Amino acid sequence: MNNESAAQYPILAGLEGPADLHEMTDQQLDALAEEMREAIIHTVSQTGGHLGASLGTIELTVALHCELESPRDKLVWDVGHQAYGHKLLTGRLAEFPTLRQQGGLSGFLKRSESEHDVVGAGHASTSISYAVGLAEAEARSGGRRGAVVCVIGDGAMTGGMAYEGLNQAGALGSPVVVVLNDNGMSISQNVGAMSRMLQRARVDSTITRVREELERAVSRVPGGGAVGTGLRDATKALWFESGALFEALGFAYMGPYDGHDVAAVRRAIRLAMRRNGPVLVHVKTTKGKGYEPAETDAEAMHGAGPFNPESGKSAPVSVPGPPSYTEVFGRALVAEAERDPRVVGITAAMLKGTGLQHLAARFPDRTYDVGIAEQHGVVFACGLAIAGMRPVCAMYSTFLQRAFDPIVHDAALQNLPIVFAIDRGGLVGDDGATHHGAFDIAYLRSIPNLTIMAPMDEAELVAMLHTALRIDGPVAIRYPRGAGVGVEIPDQPEVLEIGTGQVLESGERVALVGYGFGAQIARAAAERLHAQTGIRPTVVNARFVKPLDVALMRQLAARHDLVVTIEDHAAKGGFGSAVLEGVADMAVRVLVLGLPDHFIDHGKRDVLLAMAGLGPQQVADRIAAELATSARAVASPA
């Protein structure tokens, strides 16, 4: 950060690390929190990012670092989009303007960025499991044990893994402090019975007041610990159900507290760390706290693009582009539901992110948000399918990974008619490695009974959804993030022939075979290759990876010197691997172009594709080089 920017945040700029907070007065801490809020709003207005969640945890972050001695004490965040304030307090103020930019700070936590980033998680509901492992390791280490504290948003409490962690922590008696950041939200409004229990605690201030007064009174009684235990057990009726639930799992329950009251949270954390066992500290926060646009529309400001910090409004788009694949899918699903009353939609806390808000508006009783519980969502879909419904599970590729087991053992093994609408297939851009959908073809392709397809444009996406709902077995449709290509969508979608590819352009010597978005890359690369070499290649839209159009692949192999497969997916185990299997016995060169065998950081999607060798120009250059190498080999035989 330049000197002018640093002058805007003098307290932040003067911090050497989070330990400096230990000596600050309450007034200084309040001023620090305001600087953090201003820095986050200013930066995210330029870079985009997860604004609301981090604004809601500023005071909580300050309180935690006041009581902890990081990195000796371990602070674990459930999904790093709550932790921009943590980044600011741990020496990253100067780099903060590079947030989510190519080569800059990650939008999530990242172990290689800072010793204070204990874990680098980007998927929800994992923090308690991490914390239990860390606490058990601390218990077995020599010397003074550090505290282990994790912060889990109540949205993550809709995920089953959180309860698996709670269950083990309670059974082991692990000395962990779980801070439940209860803002009533994940990305959108929370769903489920746990959310309703937490909401009753949020709105009933009497419960909180009586408990706090009781705790203060007991603390002044000689032998208050024993007395307090008895009073606590005798006054269970004053506690709301979720507190009793956590205590039944072996946790001491504390709260709820105002998560924006630094002093109150500090006292609670201090008391919790003194206990030699698992403690849950329930804090109530407001998502987007202190910034009116984010408080008013928490869902829109969860993952915001660049915006005007004065108004909170995004910059207007002067020329409207084609609708996104997500939007096209969402509206196509409504049309299918109107045709067939058996069609229902399922998503995992991503109603707007997957386009299912349109189905929810038209058919609310046929739209299910299961919370951050992909595994449950798939098995729930299996129950619906067995009973005769036609469920469509709309989930991001990176999150569907969590449901691999039920896709195999519940959906595919029983050959149930479930459609998996896989959004964000391929590189997603600024969210980076935790969110790129780079592995879905590989983890699905080996599963029997599963049909897998990918559209080259938005019209084909509509046709594929129409086709998938007419297949008596599980089907996966993969499509990318972002805008379509602007093709016209027919009023009546066609039913595609299963397992058949489409020759878009007939040519010579080279066949470019694209899968999904790869077909668009193939088309653009073919033009560049023709301009560079004079060769007019054949261009194919594969459409299906399972069943693969093996007959077409073998025809291409027989008629061309080089077959090039192109996919926005890991090269290992993906579409190109399927083509190699199909022509393994033929004397043809196959060049597989896909994502490299390493995790790809955040950045603009087009830039990342080019860096991976999948930009149209990079593809054309690679093919031209391959042809030149082949020509030299023919001219100079060994």
Mean pLDDT throughout 25-51? 92
Say how far apart CA 107 and CA 97 lie, in whole Å.
11
pLDDT at residue 236 above 50? Answer: no
pLDDT of residue 138: 87
Once rounded to an integer, what is the mean pLDDT over residues 538-553? Answer: 98
Give the architecture-level CATH label for domain 325-478: 3-Layer(aba) Sandwich (3.40)
In the predicted model, is pLDDT for residue 224 greater than 60?
Answer: no
Would you state the pLDDT for residue 272? 96
For residue 502, which phi and psi values (nearest 5 degrees)? -135, 120
Task: Kindly report the three-state secondary structure assignment for every residue of 454-517.
Answer: CCCCHHHHHHHHHHHCCCCCCEEEECCCCECCCCCCCCCCCCCCCCCCEEEECCCCEEEEECCH
pLDDT, residue 144, reads 62
Instruction: Out of 67, 138, 299, 374, pick the active-site residue.
Output: 374
Q: In this structure, are residues 567 and 542 in contact, taking their beta carbons and an 8 Å threshold?
A: no
Query: What is the domain class of 3-204+243-296 according to CATH?
Result: alpha beta
Above 80 in pLDDT, residue 233? no
Q: Is 402 a catalytic residue?
A: yes
pLDDT for the residue numbered 319: 66
Q: How far apart are CA 597 and CA 608, in angstroms?
A: 14
pLDDT of residue 52: 86
pLDDT at 515: 98
User: Are 372 and 351 within 8 A, CB to CB?
Assistant: no
Model confidence at 293, in pLDDT bands (50, 70, 90)?
confident
Q: What is the mean pLDDT of residues 607-611?
A: 94
| Mean pLDDT for all residues in the chain | 88
Does 251 or 636 have the greater pLDDT score? Answer: 251
CATH 3.40.50.920 positions along the chain are 502-635
> Which CATH number among 3.30.300.30, 3.40.50.920, 3.40.50.620, 3.30.70.2860 corresponds to the domain 502-635?
3.40.50.920
CB 471 within 8 A of CB 498: yes
Per-residue pLDDT at 320 = 79
| pLDDT tens-digit readout, 327-370 | 999 999 999 999 999 999 999 999 999 999 999 999 999 999 99
pLDDT of residue 95: 93
Segment 595-606 mean pLDDT: 93
Q: What is the pLDDT of residues 61-89, one digit of tens each?
A: 999 999 999 999 999 999 878 899 999 99
Name the residue among 599, 607, 617, 612 with its Cα closest to residue 101. 607
Given 37, 402, 481, 546, the catalytic residue: 402
pLDDT tens-digit readout, 78-117? 987 889 999 999 999 999 999 999 889 998 899 999 999 9
Instruction: Judge if the upstream peptide bond of residue 364 is cis by omega within 30 degrees of 0.
Output: no
Residue range(s) in the chain whose domain bears CATH number 3.40.50.970:
3-204+243-296, 325-478
Question: At 421, which amino acid appears?
Answer: A
Q: Which amino acid is at 523?
A: R
Do 378 and 410 contact (CB within 8 A), yes or no?
A: yes
Quote the pLDDT of residue 204. 46
Residue 236: what residue type?
K
Q: Looking at residue 344, what is its pLDDT?
A: 98
Paired with 395 in beta bridges are 422
pLDDT of residue 584: 96
374 is catalytic: yes
Q: Of 287, 390, 478, 543, which one is the catalytic site residue? A: 287
Give the model confidence (pLDDT) of 445-484 as tens digits.
999 999 999 999 999 999 999 999 999 999 999 999 999 9
pLDDT at 221 over 70: no
Is residue 493 predicted with pLDDT exceeding 90?
yes
Output Rg (C-alpha) for the chain, integer angstroms.
27
More confident residue, 193 or 529: 529
Residue 238: predicted pLDDT? 42
Digit-coded pLDDT (tens) for 391-432? 999 999 999 999 999 999 999 999 999 999 999 999 998 888
- Is residue 458 annotated as part of the catalytic site, yes or no? no
Phi-psi region of 328 (alpha: psi -120 to 50; beta: other; left: phi over 0): alpha
Q: Is the pLDDT of residue 226 over 50?
A: no
Buried b (16+ CB within 10 A) or exposed e, 358-392: bbbeebeebbbbbbbbbbbbbbbbbebbeeebbbb
Other Cβ atoms within 10 Å of 406 Cβ, number = 20
**What residue type is 427 in one-letter code?**
L
pLDDT at residue 39 greater than cutoff 90:
yes
**Position 195 confidence tier, pLDDT thresholds 50, 70, 90:** low
- Of 52-56, 154-158, 494-498, 594-598, the poorest mean pLDDT is in 154-158
pLDDT of residue 292: 79
**If you average pLDDT over residues 204-219, what whole number do you get?**
51
State the pLDDT at residue 310: 74
